[in-house]
Structure 1
Amino acid sequence: MSLPLPFTKRFAELTVLRAALLTRRVISAVTEISKHDATPVTMADFGAQALIMAALHGTIPGYGYVGEEDAETLRKDEALAKTVFELVREIGDEFAKHEVVNADEDLGVRRLPGVTSQAEMLDLLDLAGRGTPGPKGRYWVMDPVDGTATFLKGQQYAISLALVEDGKEVLSVVCYPNLSLDDGVVSETGVDKTGCGVMLSTIRGEGTEYRKLSTEYSLGPFRKLDRFPVPTSLADLRLVDCLASKSSRLDIAEALAKQLGALPFPGIDLWSSHVRYGALMLGEGEQGKHIMIRVPVGARGDPSRAYVWDHAGSQLLYTEMGGKVTDLEGKDIDFGAGRTLAANWGLVAAPEGVHGEILSLVRELIAKDSKQ
């Protein structure tokens, strides 16, 4: 079933908004649950993905679904599953009472489907959590709470939803429910105390839209973000990174910063992958002076540790503003190679006008490192 992209985008925006409101509900009283890899996952993770999947599966069936969470933990804990279901149903019912404010005569978006039973919720979680993207067809890629560690601290996190076709992003919505830009920069401590943060959305080829969200169950107006100007000097650039990362060569990123004169390193330090992309585009990032590189720890050819849901959607938003994203070999990112970015090695994100130069410098640093 294929629906017009403007309808699909509006529907995706409302879907992400509903999930964001759920996460805001639990942010101050969240229960942490252990996963096999010791990454914290929360009731907000399960609840947000369940609401997203209910909307997608109930409105646009027939596509594939790929999400971070499955229902394994909830199936082993009946009390927890019941608590999550009650939260999902509560938010779904509340959102339905206010959906008239989001009705759109032209796009025809009326009501988002909810979750009708605990068993349905578990099945929907498994449908995405066990999904695997392929090189052909359409599928939704979602990250219900990217940045659970900082979410638990009341800092920055993101909710992402991307429509991918034949391995390429077609449509994207990313919400940063805690983000305030009052200080002009994306930071962990720049928290929106009264609203629901910021939402970015796009259809490929149509530019990136920006919304400042309230908590009033509505999307509100948007503005189109300008395309990046060409940086006048590489020394004006700032690197966005995560000093807590154990999967990326921070030493090479810092060496690049020193070579460019782009100090201190990192210019912006953020935990969530999608929030780091957000820093490339928002606040002072709108000036096109922020870049990001990822040189994986380990040998070339090691299994990828980069998951599709940590990148899908944000890259389309960035390229619609005049950014360019490739891997370290200069290849486009392939979102159809499985649950990881297995067809790519590393990443360079920079404005189009300087991407080639940045990529060359990073490759020189990698070559120099390999000889040591």
Structure 2
Amino acid sequence: MSQYTAERKFGLAAVRRACALTDSVFNKLVKNETLVKGDKSPVTVGDYAAQALVCSMLQRAFPDDLVVGEEDAADLREESGRGMRERIIELANEAIVSPLKDGDDPAWGVGPGAEQDAASLLDAIDRGNHEGGKTGRMWTLDPIDGTKGFLRGEQYAVCLSLIVDAKPVLGVIGCPNLPVDPSKPDGAKGCIFVATKGQGAYQYDHEGLSPKSISIPHISTADISFLESVEAAHSSHGFNARVAEQLKVCKSPVRMDSQAKYCCLARGEGGAYLRMPTGVGYREKIWDHASGQVLVEESGGVVSDSRGQSLDFGLGRTLGENFGIIAAGKSVHSHVLEAVQTARAEEDDNKAKAHA
């Protein structure tokens, strides 16, 4: 039996169920309700409900494993949080009791009749409070990665990974709005990507069926179109443009929210993903990159920071000091890294001259 077979089966089923939940939240709380600009409450509801779902399943499937999650239930336990709490519990239970499908295991506490009370689901959310570290097994969960993409009905992702002794060994990313076939952007949507260390990377349909092996093709730097964040606050678009100039890249960047960028890269789109710091102080969260790293590496790519060093998932809940992230196919990663370092040196020289 291959290593992590049980974890892979669980991850695919949990993310499939969480994607159905978040899609339901969008249809009920975003599409059919008028939101005040800047209102992120549907995302909050979806985040909490999906974390309650996945963590309650994890508690039964792997009771000794720790979880590093984005949310905690402190505010929901207050009287002021009653309205949101009731909505979250209702949505989580809808997902929990939905019919069993291929790959589901009722021992995980899902299926008809498996409804849970509020106290149990709030406790499940709080399972995500682990602080991370260098040793042992821990799961990372980002229930809705890509807040603004979710609210726009564009790209977002449900991201689950297993980290063992600070190394991501399993990544599962559900992308409910990503086209199944990149050559048919208006065609069927909804994919789940799964990668296990040493066992390759696969794309499934939204039901967790029809697995297809994926890989990053050998390309030249001229063929790159950078995958980057929609929000300039998340990644420096101007810096990426200077890197593109260094590489003589002619294609326009492809911008989307969430770890869907890692998924697109892994199945042969773009060729490189850049996420360079926009300011001082921000630290990348481990749940924003663990799944993507193993997916890209198992697709034949390389993930590093701007120094060419591997990302360190053993520092706690963050990746530590932000040196940026470069993910690319093996044929171009070293060239992108060199261009990033050249652009960074030029930037530093210009700052020094400005202060002289």
Once the two structures are superposed, the pairs formed by residues 57-96 of structure 1 within 5 Å of their partners are: 57-76=59-78, 77-94=81-98
In the other structure, the counterpart of 1:279 is 264
Task: After TM superposition, give the deviation of residue 117 of structure 1 in Å.
Answer: 1.4
Distance in 2, matches of 1:39 and 1:132, equals: 26
Distance in 2, matches of 1:4 and 1:182, equals: 30
1:221 pairs with one of 185, 210, 218: 210
Q: Secondary structure at the match of 2:290?
A: coil
Once the two structures are superposed, the pairs formed by residues 1-372 of structure 1 within 5 Å of their partners are: 5-30=4-29, 41-76=43-78, 77-94=81-98, 97-99=99-101, 101-102=102-103, 109-114=105-110, 116-128=116-128, 130-184=129-183, 192=188, 197-214=190-207, 219-225=208-214, 227-231=215-219, 233-266=220-253, 268-272=254-258, 274-282=259-267, 284-285=268-269, 289-298=270-279, 302-342=280-320, 345-372=323-350
Task: After TM superposition, give the deviation of residue 306 of structure 1 in Å.
Answer: 1.0
Task: After TM superposition, give the deviation of residue 191 of structure 1 in Å.
Answer: 7.6
Distance in 2, matches of 1:150 and 1:191, equals: 19
| TM-score after normalising by structure 1 | 0.84
For the 8 Å contact 1:292–1:349, the answer to whether it is kept is yes
Sequence identity percentage: 31
Letter in 2 for 1:88: A
Q: Secondary structure at the match of 2:152?
A: coil
Alpha-carbon spacing, 1:80–1:228, altered in 2? closer, same or farther (3 Å): closer
Task: After TM superposition, give the deviation of residue 39 of structure 1 in Å.
Answer: 6.4
Distance in 2, matches of 1:133 and 1:265, equals: 38
Task: After TM superposition, give the deviation of residue 127 of structure 1 in Å.
Answer: 2.1
Task: After TM superposition, give the deviation of residue 42 of structure 1 in Å.
Answer: 2.9
Q: Secondary structure at the match of 1:199?
A: strand
For structure 1, which segment, 342-351 or 308-317, has the greater mean C-alpha deviation from structure 2 after superposition?
342-351
Deviation string, structure 1 residues 167-208 (Cα, Å, up to 9, x no partner): 11011111101222445277xxx585xx6x101112100000
Displaced runs of 4 or more, over 6 A = none
Q: Secondary structure at the match of 1:313?
A: helix
Letter in 2 for 1:211: Y
Alpha-carbon spacing, 1:304–1:198, altered in 2? closer, same or farther (3 Å): same
In the other structure, the counterpart of 1:106 is none
Deviation string, structure 1 residues 135-182 (Cα, Å, up to 9, x no partner): 111100011011121112211110011000111101111110122244
Distance in 2, matches of 1:184 and 1:49, equals: 33
Alpha-carbon spacing, 1:39–1:264, altered in 2? closer, same or farther (3 Å): farther
Q: Secondary structure at the match of 2:108?
A: coil
| TM-score after normalising by structure 2 | 0.87
- 5+ long unaligned stretches in structure 1: 104-108
Q: Secondary structure at the match of 2:227?
A: strand
Q: CA RMSD in A?
A: 2.4
